[in-house]
Copies of this chain bind each other. A is one copy, B any other.
Amino acid sequence: MTNTTLKLLAQQLQLSISTVSRALKDHPDISTATKEKVHALANSLDYEPNAYAIQLRTQSSKIFGVIVPAIANLFYDSFIAAIEEESRKNGYALMILQSSNNPENELNNLKIFRQNRVSGVFACLSAHTQNLDVYEKMSDRDIPVVFFDIVPKENKYTKVRMADERCAIIAAENIIQRGAKRVLALFGDPALSISQKRKQAFQQFMEKYAPKTHCTYVHTNSSLEAEAAFNKHIGKTQKFDTVFAMTDEILIGVMKSIQALNIKVPKEIGVISISNGFIPSLYHPNISYVETSGYELGKLAFVQMLANIKGGKTLSELTVDAKFVEGGSM
């Protein structure tokens, strides 16, 4: 079945294509009478403009590209959900590609975005991306890029991210308030700037405001490693009264071990983490956490994108603030 086009409508109505086009978008040049006729026929013939033709003609696509390490991820999927909502409201659609933390995929994905002349891209750097030339190519094409979560260091880019330092500090505050004496603090991959930032902020704060509290810092790369690390450090004699998990992944490992050893939370040990909120809600008692909302980050990123498109200069880096959510584990 052949699609309805402007030409077809024009023929049937004995009008020119341009008149039909204008009528459809309520152009003041067109009389009410013709507008009505055109709309009527368009409806009955189920006319739907061809997005490609429009994009070709107007050189703008109403599509945003999104590139994440993985879609199947509690944080990123809520981020995506947020920008999807906003996009729809603003008449944009989303093209989502995953990098799988592989710079080569990242490259190809950006290429697809360029070829589709997306209006903008939301990008989360894959874990070890060094070379940002690819993104330079995007600005050459006048395609705005908003980086989120894992962002480049340079100031010239537009970026939104969690207030990592704040998160760590809020966690530290609560740990101090609990009167913790011995803390086991677990962080992620030390090569990632997010781990560095959180650890540094945490450590500095603890040393400054609770110098007597003894903290042990450990880096782990997965839930399994975290579980093993927790097991090892918890040893036979329960030496720690509080454990801090930098991410959900780490929290999961810790909680596995806590369940296995049947340690009572919060009586025998206090638990606090940085999280989206979903994982902490799975346990009893709920784990207290510092909230980093992918959803909020998405909303913020979208605002930045729109500002960027409208041409207004945007602040180079915005962060979404964190707040503490009491669970019962502290």
1/0 per position for A48-64, CB-CB distance to B under 8 A?
11111101100001010
Complex formed: what's the CA distance from A68 to B37 in Å? 37
Pick from A18-26, A69-77, A161-169, A199-207 the stretch touching chain B: A69-77
**Cβ–Cβ < 8 Å partners of A71 in chain B:** 71, 77, 80-81, 84
Number of chain A interface residues as a range: 35 or more
1/0 per position for A276-305, CB-CB distance to B under 8 A?
000100111100000000000000000000
Say yes or no for A114: interface residue by CB 8 A criterion: yes
1/0 per position for A34-56, CB-CB distance to B under 8 A?
00000000000010111111011
Given A50-B56, A71-B81, 9 new contacts (CB under 8 A): A51-B115, A52-B116, A52-B117, A70-B81, A72-B81, A73-B77, A84-B98, A255-B282, A260-B284
List 6 A-B pairs, Cβ < 8 Å: A51-B117, A52-B56, A71-B84, A84-B96, A88-B97, A93-B97
Contacts from A to B (Cβ < 8 Å)? 1, 3, 46, 48-53, 55-56, 61, 63, 70-74, 77-78, 80-81, 84-85, 88, 93-98, 105, 108, 111-112, 114-117, 137, 140-142, 252, 255-257, 259-260, 279, 282-285
